[in-house]
């Protein structure tokens, strides 16, 4: 089977009429790294079929037929935020905080406790940058969560939240990361990266941590043996070279530390924000982007499609364009996307539903923990039995 697939993609490259694409195609087939300019060329000239077949080839070489997911839940401590990112539909300024929400420690612990006895492995904590919630508040929260449920992996705080917390507490990035790690924080999510290039960053999120600051926080986490993710907000005013510049900076840091697990492209959604006049990208453009990121980020183990943002059908489609991870079951607590106009207004999928979705796409569903250790392979599982089992629905 694999020989047929490899022959298919080899033939596609061999028959490619454009010489620059053909050269890139051969490089990829020979597992050679592509350059910045070649990345841009793929965006400019690569058809969906061309980049998609190559990305699928790379994805199957790295991760076989597996699609990973995990069982997690979100806590969003607040949507009050000191920043004013133009694409954000979710945040409220402190002076308008009565329109938003602020959870107390008790309320957050209540959410954690509501999962007692349920087989979740991860809590993902992400929210706005509240001017009154400081480093000590979050250190206490980490300790409380860990004291209550030591086996729950805490993935929390974007580099934007951390940068603000550390500056306010007057600690260095290294000291701040160490304090949070000691309190129980284990991984960082990939948010806040947006587009690193200043030409774009100045227009969409001028006031929050810049590219070097974002990268310094992830570097510090990696040096403490913590794993992190990286996102890229795409499909707005950025050009192809800004996308490649973003991926290039991530590729370089990954060469240095090896601490990134997953790249997560996030499609810009245009409702209820200051960039609503910008049309959303097409599904073909989205799939080309997934594929090209799989090809460019040759040192990233995984590429994730965040299904609540993309919608379940397009997330299924992405599994043929380089994606090997669909994030998690996620309960209905994440509001970042529903408020920005995502199809998924109540993003919740049971394990049985997620497994069925992956199987429909002809892939092998595997539950993982945050660090990609396999918890359970569902490829031989009977779907009806799974749906009837209360542990999986």
Rule CB under 6 A: which residues touch ligand V47?
A: 87-89, 126, 158, 189-192, 194, 229, 231, 233, 264, 266, 268-269, 273, 306, 327, 336, 340
Stretch that binds ligand SF4, among 27-35, 76-84, 113-121, 306-314 (CB under 6 A): 76-84
**Is there binding between residue 214 and ligand SF4 (CB under 6 A)?**
no
Angle at 155 between CA 365 and CA 339, to 5 degrees: 80
**Is there binding between residue 160 and ligand SF4 (CB under 6 A)?**
yes
**Rounded to whole angstroms, how far apart are CA atoms 18 and 288?**
18
Which residues fall within 8 angstroms of residue 223, CB to CB, at 6 or more apart?
A: 174, 257, 259
Cβ atoms < 10 Å from Cβ of 216: 18
| 3 state DSSP class of 132 | coil
Minimum CB separation of residue 205 from ligand SF4 in Å reads 6
**Rounded to whole angstroms, how far apart are CA atoms 66 and 119?**
21
Q: Which is nearer to ligand V47, 112 or 264 (CB)?
A: 264
Instruction: Specify the DSSP class assigned to residue 102.
Output: B
Chosen from ligand V47, ligand SF4, none, partner binding at 83 (C-beta under 5 to 8 Å by type): ligand SF4
Minimum CB separation of residue 353 from ligand SF4 in Å reads 29
Q: Which is nearer to ligand V47, 39 or 328 (CB)?
A: 328
Chosen from ligand SF4, ligand V47, none, partner binding at 128 (C-beta under 5 to 8 Å by type): ligand SF4
Instruction: Specify the DSSP class assigned to residue 337.
Output: T
Which residues fall within 8 angstroms of residue 111, CB to CB, at 6 or more apart?
A: 73, 75, 103, 333
Chosen from ligand SF4, ligand V47, none, partner binding at 233 (C-beta under 5 to 8 Å by type): ligand V47
Minimum CB separation of residue 154 from ligand SF4 in Å reads 19
Minimum CB separation of residue 192 from ligand SF4 in Å reads 7
**Is there binding between residue 85 and ligand SF4 (CB under 6 A)?**
yes
**Is there binding between residue 208 and ligand SF4 (CB under 6 A)?**
yes
116: closest CA among 82, 150, 141, 79?
150
**Rounded to whole angstroms, how far apart are CA atoms 393 and 387?**
6
């Amino acid at each position: 089977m694999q020989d047929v697939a490899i022959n298919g993609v080899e033939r596609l490259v061999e028959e490619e009429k454009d010489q620059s694409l053909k050269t890139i195609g051969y490089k990829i087939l020979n597992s050679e790294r592509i350059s910045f300019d070649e990345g841009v060329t793929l965006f400019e000239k690569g058809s969906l079929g061309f980049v998609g077949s190559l990305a699928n080839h790379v994805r199957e070489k790295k991760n076989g037929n597996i699609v990973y997911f995990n069982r997690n839940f979100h806590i969003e401590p607040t949507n009050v935020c000191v920043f004013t990112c133009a694409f954000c539909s979710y945040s409220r300024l402190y002076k308008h905080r009565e329109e938003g929400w602020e959870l107390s420690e008790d309320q957050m612990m209540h959410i954690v406790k509501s999962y007692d006895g349920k087989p979740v492995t991860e809590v993902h904590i992400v929210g706005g940058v509240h001017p009154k919630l400081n480093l000590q508040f979050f250190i206490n929260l980490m300790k409380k969560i860990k004291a209550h449920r030591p086996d729950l992996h805490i993935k929390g705080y974007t580099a934007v939240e951390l940068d603000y917390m550390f500056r306010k507490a007057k600690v260095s990035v290294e000291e701040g990361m160490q304090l949070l790690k000691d309190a129980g924080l284990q991984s960082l999510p990939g948010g806040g990266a947006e587009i690193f290039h200043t030409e774009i960053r100045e227009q969409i999120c001028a006031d929050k941590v810049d590219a070097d600051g974002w990268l310094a926080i992830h570097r510090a986490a990696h040096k403490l043996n913590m794993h992190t993710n990286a996102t890229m907000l795409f499909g707005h005013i950025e050009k192809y070279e800004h996308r490649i510049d973003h991926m290039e900076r991530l590729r370089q840091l990954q060469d240095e530390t090896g601490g990134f697990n997953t790249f997560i492209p996030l499609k810009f959604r245009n409702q209820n924000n200051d960039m609503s006049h910008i049309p959303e990208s097409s599904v073909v453009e989205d799939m080309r982007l997934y594929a090209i990121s799989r090809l460019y980020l040759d040192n990233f183990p995984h590429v994730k499609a965040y299904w609540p943002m993309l919608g379940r059908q397009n997330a299924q489609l992405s599994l043929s364009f380089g994606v090997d991870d669909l994030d998690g079951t996620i309960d209905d607590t994440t509001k970042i996307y529903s408020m920005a106009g995502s199809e998924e207004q109540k993003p919740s999928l049971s394990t049985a539903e997620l497994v069925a979705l992956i199987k429909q796409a002809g892939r092998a569903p595997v539950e993982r923990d945050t660090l990609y250790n396999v918890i359970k392979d569902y490829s031989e599982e009977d779907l009806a039995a799974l749906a009837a089992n209360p542990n999986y629905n």
